[in-house]
Structure 1
Amino acid sequence: MNITQCIVLTVGLSSSLASAIVIRHDVPDESYHAARSDFPPLATLYSIGVHGTLIDPEWVVTAAHAVFCMNPGQKIHVGNELVSVSQRYSYPEYQLGGVHDLALIKLAQPVTSIKPATLYDGIAEKGAGVWFIGVGGTGTGQQGQTVSYKENNGRLRKAQNKVVNVTDTDIVFKFERGSKGEALEGVSGNGDSGGPAFIKEGDKYVLLGVSSRVDSWFYNVGEYGVTELYTRVSSYSDWIQQVISAKDELTREKITTQNAFLQDGMKSMNMNELCASLEVK
């Protein structure tokens, strides 16, 4: 999901709205309300939302386009803990707005109070029913995103969807209307970047995808019919393990990029000031 709009709103440069989980119009909003216990390994990168998933006591996986402020010392929430970032590492072939939208955040100290999520390692994602979760604004499929993250005031929501297709790099979802959709059908939006598409197996949370971007010419974010792409975790499991298990910093730098991937709306900003304003407390 493109998060520039919610960033520029934060610093007063635009009237565009941010969104998080967008829901069905015919199901009460309360049915989508969630708690951290619904996905304990959830990480929140900024005060306006944007997420990741704890996959190792010292590592969070997120979208590469979301790491613009993930500098050493920046604070993030992992579960109920406030932890510092040590470094960021993105997939080396990623270009802003394209495929390979994946990054890893190394934490300055391990998180031991939460069991990390498990990475999905199969090839049968198509047809799977998954959950999304995130904070920010909201809306319904009839009108798309309509409520800003400020109005939502940090409400966490979760929603269901089904994988309709897979590619080498992405898993694909569509926001269906009525009986075609899941009971709690929904999609993510601006402000949910980096968040998980997950399933629960017993007491394990299994991560299938990472929220990346919309792929629809004729639908706005959150409207019925919109198609969303999540980076396909199973395609990058080898790279993830190589980064995590690297013996030293030089080895990691050879297989990653530390690019901040500043979007157009950010290039004229004072990034130190912006990152301080977005830091979670």
Structure 2
Amino acid sequence: MRFFILLALACCCIESKAVVMRHDISVERYHVEKMPDYIIDLPHEGHGALIAKQWIVTVAHTIFYDYTGAILNIGSQEYQVEKVYIHPNYLKPRKEILSGDMMPLMQVLKSSSDIALIKISKPVSNVIPISLYSKSDEKGKILTVFGKGATGNGLIGENLDTKALHQPNRFQNVVESANGKWLSFKFDSPHNALPLEGMQGSGDSGGASIIYQNGIPYLAGLSSWQFATGDMSTFKGGLYGTTAYQTRISNYYNWIKGVVGS
């Protein structure tokens, strides 16, 4: 549990379920009535996205224990987890780097492959899976990111006490870098920001980042972590200027297809 909390704080939101907003925009503008049906709540915390009738993709650090046999609510029905496939290059940070200077943790996070696939025991019948974004042209495109955990704003950062409210929200940001394993974006202050500019927060891990093309949603990223420097005890997530990192779906497209196809 300590590992999970520190990871969620030390990264752009190493755990997907929260939205940090502009301080000058009404919070109601970020609210959504309900999350898209293809976004799935995981057993402990965080999200995944339904990408095929029996498959959910998420970030590996949301797999806190053996989820085999766990029940997931998808649409209006319950489904049982059959098996979890964690990417072989996922690195779980050692306990000794979860305190003190944050740079060793940042190095581990950046070199890790933070992605996992969850197979459920029977095909989903009442929800349409989201398609994967397989192109490598994400830079400069607008992401729409969903979450329902801790909230806050860019002046004061995220408020962890709000995480239990589970208010569905969404924000937008522009892909600043699309390189190798990661998509990244910066939480700009209002004079450089999108109307619904935002940042993922604690509880957002595995949250879906969507690129819309002709009104059709494509899964481009999964909320993973947030870059930070200094001592971990003084870290405050979700401030203006913070850079977020998202697992880049296009980089893992062949791995996903290889596992799902098997």
> Paired residue for 1:227, among 236, 243, 246?
243
The number of equivalent residue pairs is 233
Map 1:40-119; keep pairs closer than 5 Å. 40-46=37-43, 49-96=45-92, 97-98=108-109, 99-119=112-132
Q: Give the C-alpha shift of residue 46 in structure 1.
A: 3.5
Gaps of 5+ in 2: 9-15, 93-107
Paired position in structure 2 for 1:249: none
Q: Which amino acid aligns with 2:210?
A: F
> Paired residue for 2:151, among 112, 116, 138?
138
- Provide the C-alpha distance between the structure 2 equivalents of 1:91 and 1:28, rounded to a whole number of angstroms: 39
Matched, 1:39 2:52: no
Q: Which amino acid aligns with 1:106?
A: K
Answer whether contact 1:126 1:164 (CA < 8 A) is retained.
Answer: yes
Paired position in structure 1 for 2:27: 29
Identical pairs, percent? 33
TM-score (normalised: structure 2): 0.82
Map 1:262-277; keep pairs closer than 5 Å. none
Q: Give the C-alpha shift of residue 93 in structure 1.
A: 1.0
Q: Which amino acid aligns with 2:138?
A: E
Q: Give the C-alpha shift of residue 90 in structure 1.
A: 1.0
- Provide the C-alpha distance between the structure 2 equivalents of 1:136 and 1:205, rounded to a whole number of angstroms: 22
TM-score (normalised: structure 1): 0.77
CA RMSD of aligned residues (A): 2.3
Q: Which amino acid aligns with 2:39?
A: L
- Provide the C-alpha distance between the structure 1 equivalents of 2:177 and 2:167, rounded to a whole number of angstroms: 30
Answer whether contact 2:17 2:47 (CA < 8 A) is retained.
Answer: no
Q: Which has the higher contact order (CA 8 A, sep 6+)?
A: 2
Gaps of 5+ in 1: 9-17, 247-281
Q: Give the C-alpha shift of residue 7 in structure 1.
A: 10
- Provide the C-alpha distance between the structure 2 equivalents of 1:119 and 1:170, rounded to a whole number of angstroms: 15
Q: Give the C-alpha shift of residue 172 in structure 1.
A: 0.5
Deviations 1:208-263 (A, max 9, x none): 111111113266311111111001100110000010111xxxxxxxxxxxxxxxxx
Q: Give the C-alpha shift of residue 167 in structure 1.
A: 1.4
- Provide the C-alpha distance between the structure 2 equivalents of 1:155 and 1:6, rounded to a whole number of angstroms: 22
Q: Which runs of 4+ in 1 moved over 3 A?
A: none
